[in-house]
Amino acid sequence: MIHKLKLLKLSALLLIVIAAIQSCSYDRDIENDAENLVPPVVNLNVELVGDIATITWDNPNYSGNVTIILTHNNGLELLDFSTSSYEFEISEVNVEYLFTVKLKDNDTGNFSLGETVSLMREGPQPVLNFTGVQEETNVILTWDIQDTNISGIKLTIDNSEVIDLPSNATTYTL
């Protein structure tokens, strides 16, 4: 009797597992209405000239009260639908910048799919082992260079004074 009860419990458990698996694999029809109602921007591109990255795109043919949402590493910009470009200052090197543009229909609350482009401004690696030691009235700064393919070093003091040094400099005395 105990054996039959265990077998019955095991059979019931097996049926529940099979039913759960079957319901998870059910191929549901998706209605055509579920398509994205707000079309995405097309031809999204980014170009870097000097320190300025220009993001450009083409807006779709769509009528409505639309806002362009441009997200980037430092936040987001809300732009008018007539806008098809935006400029960013790219001050840091060796950082991947991501830009995503999507549309929002303000009347319906629907969004388009976002389109994303990325940009990395290549640049020299920072110095290593930067130290400063005071000797009497002087401060001696030293560092190691990890990138030998550079044209010079810029030493910035208090975010205002910039001292240009040769590419092989590893010390400076203030």
Considering the domain architecture, whether residues 109 and 47 belong to the same structural domain is answered as yes
Considering the domain architecture, whether residues 132 and 115 belong to the same structural domain is answered as no
pLDDT at 120: 92
The CA distance from 9 to 6, in Å, is 5
pLDDT digits (tens, 9 = 90+) for 59-81: 999 988 999 999 999 999 999 99
User: Which tokens in the block code for residue 57?
Assistant: 């795109």
Considering the domain architecture, whether residues 116 and 134 belong to the same structural domain is answered as no
CA distances to 3, 129, 144, 146, 154 from 133, in Å: 83, 13, 15, 21, 19
Position 28 in a domain: no
User: Which tokens in the block code for residue 85?
Assistant: 């470009």
pLDDT at 83: 94
The CA distance from 85 to 149, in Å, is 34
Considering the domain architecture, whether residues 43 and 108 belong to the same structural domain is answered as yes
Please, which residues have CB within 8 angstroms of residue 97's CB and are 6 or more apart in sequence?
53, 72, 73, 88, 90, 118, 119, 120, 121
What sign for the dihedral angle of Cα 106, 111, 117, 120?
positive
Considering the domain architecture, whether residues 138 and 116 belong to the same structural domain is answered as no
Position 22 in a domain: no
Considering the domain architecture, whether residues 112 and 56 belong to the same structural domain is answered as yes
Closest CA to 62 of 34, 32, 38, 36: 38
Closest CA to 99 of 122, 77, 66, 123: 77
Q: Which of 103, 120, 137 is the last residue of a domain?
A: 120
Residue in the block written with tokens 């229909």: 105
What sign for the dihedral angle of Cα 70, 46, 147, 165?
negative
User: Which tokens in the block code for residue 25?
Assistant: 């694999």
Considering the domain architecture, whether residues 74 and 41 belong to the same structural domain is answered as yes
Number of CB atoms found within 10 A of residue 37's CB: 13
Considering the domain architecture, whether residues 116 and 133 belong to the same structural domain is answered as no
pLDDT at 154: 84
- Mean pLDDT per block of 10 residues along the chain (174 residues) reads 69 67 56 68 95 95 93 94 93 91 94 94 84 91 83 85 87 89
- Side-chain-facing half-sphere of 2: CA atoms under 13 Å: 0
pLDDT at 96: 94
Position 166 in a domain: yes
Containing structural domain, residue 70:
35-120
